[in-house]
Amino acid sequence: MPKNIRKRKINFKDTTYLNRDFESFRNELIRYARVHYGDTILDFSEASLAGMFVDMAAYVGDIMSFYQDHQFNELSLETAVEERNIERLIRSAGVKITGASPSYVEVSLKLKIDAVAQTDGSTTPSAASLPVVRSGTVISSTSGVEFELLENIDFAEKDDDGELIATVEVASTNSDSVPTEYFLSRIGKFTSAKTIIETFIIPDIFKPFRTITLKNSDVNEIIRITDKDGDDYYEVDSLTQDTVYIKQKNDLADYLSVPERIKMIPAPKRFEKFTDRKSRKTTIRFGSGDEDVFDEDVVPDPSEHAVTFYGDRKSLPFVSIDPNKFLSTTTLGISPRNTTITVKYRSGGGVKHNVAASQITSVKSLITKFQTSVDPVTVSKIRSTVSCLNGTPAAGGENQLSLEEFRQIALSSQNAQSRIVTKEDLISRVYSLPNKFGRVFRAGVRDNPYNPFATHLHVLSRNASGKLEWTSSTLKENIGKFLENYRLITDAIDIVDGVIVNIGVDYSVSVDSKYNPDIVLQSVNFKLQEYFDIRNFQIDQPLMLSEIQNLIINTEGVVSMLEMDIISKEGTVGANSYTDVSYDPYQYKDRGILYPPPGGIFEVKFPNDDISGRVK
Amino acid sequence: MFNFKSSGIKISDPKFRETKESAESKIRPIGIKTPLEIGDDRAEIFKMHIDPLEQIADNLRNLVQTNSGERLGRYSIGCDLMSLLFDRNSQNEAEYENIAIQNIKKQVQRYMPVVAIDEVRFSSVDKVDYTDKTSLSKVIINIQFSVPRLKRLKNRIEVVLYNGG
């Protein structure tokens, strides 16, 4: 072969990187060999020796290609196939693997109590002998599923007006029809999970990241972990989280709408939990710090953690840092030693726990607390009258999710962030505040006009009759503390009240002579009432006047709409009390759209009075 | 204007002139000879076939001697005669031969389509020396084949297989 052609051939590598399987590797190798070694060997057929060598090289390429593919696939949650890898990826996506979940149900507990005579001759239930049914009380369904009371039920609890919160019915009367006994019933929340207390003796050996595994499977909640000194260990999402929220009973005036307050406390004693998918058992992992060693400095002095190198090491530093030494700091929490750990937790669940309504009828184990003045005979008599019935079916019980279901949850949760970046993040985080800390009805976000780094979070709540009201300061405080953990360090969120704009609609229409004008007006009013239902409105949501006009015109019997005005309602009008927000609709109207003031929401507070129509 | 007379190389250039040596080097080796042998004075490391028929005969012998599953990445190649040998006895000899011929023909048709099998003959040699452990009974397969494309007809190869059972 001429030299120049040979040189050109050598320089021309012509290698393709698209081959993935045995055949394509083999074809490419043969093509390459024929180009570059065509003058050395010609026969690459399957039966030849050269063909065998090519096959072997292609086989190696195929296997390597397969493993490379496999490794890359295992890195992605979508494509991973090995169970252990899928589990790891699910955990790293922040999804907790859990066992079966229990069902929850609201059950009415009913008891019979003697009446006591009042000075006016009437009778009331004997308040002194009303018990507290304590959490842990067990009731059972006809199919044998047991439910446990989650929170105490105080039958003597009264509302702001001094009336018993429990529903009171007359159980029996005397010959003069004066009640002698009353039925009292209250709703309590029950779960099908069982409360279990387990203790672990921890030896006097320091062990960073000590783990303990609970005996029962399907643990769905760790209620409390304490050591023998009575110190609490707090559950955290990861051991790097050094503060936790705890709930405190709200003793302020707004306790009815916000029963509990959030308090943020440091948690040097903390733990994280994880559940094995197959055994469904939960393991608790503590921190790495040694309780007996104080962290005097925020940053440990490296010289105290040096390891001396022995021998002639002139070319190397004489000491090196022992990284294990840093594990004994309390940065990741304290590891217990020489103590007894008591774990109180709830376990159990499954889809079979979802029993139908009226199936929970028997009281298995009743835990009550009576006032000391109540005699044992009365206690025994009242206890014997306690019955239960679930008006609604028990729901929420579910078997353990399959690996595929966990995978789908992890995939969707990857998009959600556990921090607040966008306005949508902030609003969704506000709405995810646990119920016990209060519930915001509407939240809206606006830029702070005076501070480019701050955001105004407008919040509003609803009162018992469904009307908008300002959010209580305790709830705002709770929101603030709750958001603290999710907001970016440079962001400021000002939690302020939303602006309630009370409005009314005044309209006049001409009605077809075939229709009764009153009935037509009634229909229009009904349509407008539905339209102005507060559940259809958000903070900063404008009002489309053409939509209202459409509603009126498209009502059967209406021939034409003559007038339609949006009227601001403020102060006290007759028996109706509105907000003091002064709102001029003409100022905020632009091309048929009525805008609320910044952070405002429209409310037709008294639809029967605020929507008025006339027939002309 | 560009002068095309100054571009390119003429075929009459001395560097392309054929010498005796270059004529010899034109004979291109086809494939590696098996069993492997160290090359002689030629440039190749191993001895090579330069006659296509010899290469075909070599490939055919290797194909007959290969058992299925032996070849990495190509598990179907091979006439799989060794497993048949284990089952072979005096009663089923005819059946064995029949299956073996079918296997050989099928494999040749698939992997060496240029070859046409004319005849396959079997002859068995019993164990000769019972005191010698290395002395085994064997089957000698005599294959007559043709390569029509090369117009080389009635060629023979002999493959020896030792009885396993």
Nearest CA distance, B42 vs chain A (angstrom): 11
Gap between the Cα atoms of B73 and B109, Å rounded: 20
Residue of B nearest to A23 (CA): B73
Gap between the Cα atoms of A277 and A96, Å rounded: 10
pLDDT band at A10 (very low <50, low <70, confident <90, very high): low
How far from A54 is each of A9, A23, A32, A615, B34, CA to CA, in Å?
21, 11, 11, 95, 16
DSSP, collapsed to helix, strand or coil, labels residue A68 as helix
DSSP, collapsed to helix, strand or coil, labels residue A240 as coil
Owner of token pair 């602006």: A499
Q: Identify the residue among A52, A62, A64 best suited for mutation to test binding to B, counting B beta carbons within 10 A and taking the highest.
A: A52
Q: Tell me, rounded to whole angstroms, the distance of Cα A548 from its chain centroid.
A: 37
In chain B, positions 34-63, which contact chain A (CB-CB < 8 Å)? 34, 44, 48-49, 55, 58-60, 62-63
Of A2, A48, A58, nearest to B59 by CB-CB distance is A48
- A and B: number of Cβ contacts within 8 A: 59
Strand positions, DSSP E, B15-149: 31-32, 48-49, 116-125, 138-147
Residue of A nearest to B79 (CA): A47
Q: Which of chain A's residues have a Cβ under 8 Å away from the Cβ of B35?
A: none
DSSP, collapsed to helix, strand or coil, labels residue A579 as coil
The residue type of A449 is: P
Does A48 contact B55 at a Cβ distance shorter than 8 Å? yes
Q: Tell me, rounded to whole angstroms, the distance of Cα A509 from its chain centroid.
A: 49
The confidence score (pLDDT) of residue A442 equals: 86
Q: Which of A121-135, A186-200, A314-328, A596-610 has the lowest mean pLDDT?
A: A314-328
In the 3-class helix/strand/coil scheme, how is A316-352 assigned residue by residue?
Answer: CCCEEECHHHHHHCHHHCEECCCEEEEEEEEECCCHH
Task: Supply φ then ψ for residue A510, to 5 degrees.
Answer: -105, 140
Q: Is the pLDDT of residue A555 over 80?
A: yes
Of B32, B73, B74, nearest to A49 by CB-CB distance is B32
The confidence score (pLDDT) of residue A573 equals: 86
Helices in A310-443 by DSSP H: which ranges?
Answer: 376-385, 403-415, 423-431
A40: contact with B, CB 8 A cutoff: yes
DSSP, collapsed to helix, strand or coil, labels residue B108 as helix
| A440, HSE (Cβ side, Cα atoms, 13 Å) | 31
Q: How many CB atoms lie within 10 A of CB A201?
A: 9
B77: contact with A, CB 8 A cutoff: yes
Residue B79, both tokens: 């006439």
Residue A230, both tokens: 């009575």
Owner of token pair 């392309």: B16
Q: Which of chain A's residues have a Cβ under 8 Å away from the Cβ of B34?
A: 49
Q: Which of chain B's residues have a Cβ under 8 Å away from the Cβ of A21?
A: none
With CA atoms as reference, report the closest residue to A228 among A291, A314, A186, A159.
Answer: A291
A36: contact with B, CB 8 A cutoff: no
The residue type of A237 is: D
Give chain B's domains with CATH numbers.
28-163 (3.10.450.40)
A1: contact with B, CB 8 A cutoff: no
B26: contact with A, CB 8 A cutoff: no
Of A38, A40, A52, nearest to B71 by CB-CB distance is A52
Q: Tell me, rounded to whole angstroms, the distance of Cα B76 from its chain centroid.
A: 17
Instruction: Give me the tens of pLDDT residue by residue for chain B, a chain 165 residues long.
Output: 556 666 666 667 766 666 665 555 567 889 999 998 888 765 678 888 989 999 999 999 999 999 989 998 888 999 998 888 877 776 777 888 899 999 999 999 999 999 999 999 988 877 666 666 666 778 899 999 999 998 888 999 999 888 765
Q: Which of chain A's residues have a Cβ under 8 Å away from the Cβ of B73?
A: 22, 26, 55-56, 58-59, 62
Residue A21, both tokens: 């399987």
Gap between the Cα atoms of B165 and B159, Å rounded: 18
Does A58 contact B111 at a Cβ distance shorter than 8 Å? no
Burial of A148 (C-beta count, 10 Å sphere; 0-12/13-18/19+):
buried
Q: Identify the residue among B9, B10, B36, B71 best suited for mutation to test binding to A, counting A beta carbons within 10 A and taking the highest.
A: B71
Return all residues near A176 (Cβ < 8 A) that are at least 6 apart.
Answer: none
Does B77 contact A47 at a Cβ distance shorter than 8 Å? yes
Angle (CA) B117 B120 B124, round 5°:
160
Residue A59, both tokens: 């086989």
Over its C-alpha atoms, chain A yields an Rg (Å, rounded) of 36
Instruction: Answer whether A507's CB lies under 8 Å from A606's CB.
Output: no
Q: Is the pLDDT of residue A298 over 50?
A: no
Gap between the Cα atoms of A203 and A81, Å rounded: 40
Q: Tell me, rounded to whole angstroms, the distance of Cα A81 from its chain centroid.
A: 29
Gap between the Cα atoms of B111 and A254, Å rounded: 89
Over its C-alpha atoms, chain B yields an Rg (Å, rounded) of 23
A22: contact with B, CB 8 A cutoff: yes
Question: Please, what is the average pLDDT of chain A?
Answer: 85
Q: What is the dihedral of CA A222, A223, A227, A228, to 10 degrees?
A: -140
Gap between the Cα atoms of A448 and A228, Å rounded: 50
Strand positions, DSSP E, chain B: 31-32, 48-49, 116-125, 138-147, 152-162
β-strand A492-497 against A454-462: which pairing, if any? parallel
Q: Which of chain B's residues have a Cβ under 8 Å away from the Cβ of A39?
A: 28
Instruction: Answer whether A252's CB lies under 8 Å from A132's CB.
Output: no
Residue A530, both tokens: 């539905």
Q: Identify the residue among B21, B55, B157 best suited for mutation to test binding to A, counting A beta carbons within 10 A and taking the highest.
A: B55
Q: Is the pLDDT of residue A311 over 70?
A: no
Q: Is the pLDDT of residue A113 over 70?
A: yes
With CA atoms as reference, report the closest residue to A343 among A202, A227, A464, A440.
Answer: A227
A98 or A169, greater pLDDT? A169
The confidence score (pLDDT) of residue A581 equals: 86
Burial of B29 (C-beta count, 10 Å sphere; 0-12/13-18/19+):
buried
Instruction: Answer whether B127's CB lies under 8 Å from B136's CB.
Output: yes
Instruction: Answer whether B67's CB lies under 8 Å from B78's CB.
Output: yes
The confidence score (pLDDT) of residue A13 equals: 56
Of A38, A42, A56, nearest to B73 by CB-CB distance is A56
- What pTM was estimated for this model as a whole? 0.58
Which residues sit opposite A21 in a β-bridge? none
A502-526 tens-digit pLDDT: 999 999 999 998 999 999 999 999 9
With CA atoms as reference, report the closest residue to A139 among A111, A109, A168, A113.
Answer: A109
The confidence score (pLDDT) of residue A44 equals: 92
Q: How many CB atoms lie within 10 A of CB A306?
A: 15
Does A46 contact B44 at a Cβ distance shorter than 8 Å? no
Gap between the Cα atoms of B121 and B115, Å rounded: 17
A255 or A404, greater pLDDT? A404
In chain A, positions 428-457, which contact chain B (CB-CB < 8 Å)? none
Q: How many residues comprise chain A?
A: 616
Does A50 contact B62 at a Cβ distance shorter than 8 Å? no
pLDDT band at A24 (very low <50, low <70, confident <90, very high): very high
DSSP, collapsed to helix, strand or coil, labels residue A404 as helix
Residue of A nearest to B109 (CA): A47
A5: contact with B, CB 8 A cutoff: no
Q: Which of chain B's residues have a Cβ under 8 Å away from the Cβ of A56?
A: 72-73
A38-97 tens-digit pLDDT: 888 889 999 999 999 999 999 999 999 999 999 999 999 989 999 999 999 988 887 888
Gap between the Cα atoms of B120 and A149, Å rounded: 89
A45: contact with B, CB 8 A cutoff: yes
Of B15, B49, B111, nearest to A47 by CB-CB distance is B111
Q: Is the pLDDT of residue A297 over 50?
A: no
The confidence score (pLDDT) of residue A252 equals: 79
The confidence score (pLDDT) of residue A225 equals: 95
A27: contact with B, CB 8 A cutoff: no
**Backbone dihedral region of A194: left (phi > 0), alpha (psi from -120 to 50 degrees) or beta?**
beta
Residue A63, both tokens: 């296997």
Q: Which of chain B's residues have a Cβ under 8 Å away from the Cβ of A33?
A: none
Residue A453, both tokens: 């780094």
Of B31, B71, B74, nearest to A50 by CB-CB distance is B31
Does B29 contact A42 at a Cβ distance shorter than 8 Å? yes
Owner of token pair 């037509």: A520
Angle (CA) A142 A146 A149, round 5°:
125
With CA atoms as reference, report the closest residue to B141 among B116, B163, B124.
Answer: B124
Residue of B nearest to A52 (CA): B71
B16: contact with A, CB 8 A cutoff: yes
Task: Supply φ then ψ for residue A24, to 5 degrees.
Answer: -70, -35
Return all residues near A402 (Cβ < 8 A) that are at least 6 apart.
Answer: none
Q: Is the pLDDT of residue A26 over 80?
A: yes
With CA atoms as reference, report the closest residue to A508 among A493, A495, A524, A530.
Answer: A524
Helix axis angle, A423-431 relative to A473-484, nearest 10°? Answer: 120
Of A2, A38, A46, nearest to B74 by CB-CB distance is A46
The confidence score (pLDDT) of residue A477 equals: 81
Gap between the Cα atoms of A423 and A455, Å rounded: 9
Gap between the Cα atoms of A325 and A300, Å rounded: 10
Q: Identify the residue among A30, A36, A43, A62 best suited for mutation to test binding to B, counting B beta carbons within 10 A and taking the highest.
A: A43
Gap between the Cα atoms of B112 and A612, Å rounded: 98
Of A2, A50, A56, nearest to B32 by CB-CB distance is A50
In the 3-class helix/strand/coil scheme, how is A267-301 assigned residue by residue?
Answer: CCCEEEEEECCCCCEEEEEECCEECCCCCCCCCCC
Return all residues near A408 (Cβ < 8 A) that are at least 6 apart.
Answer: none
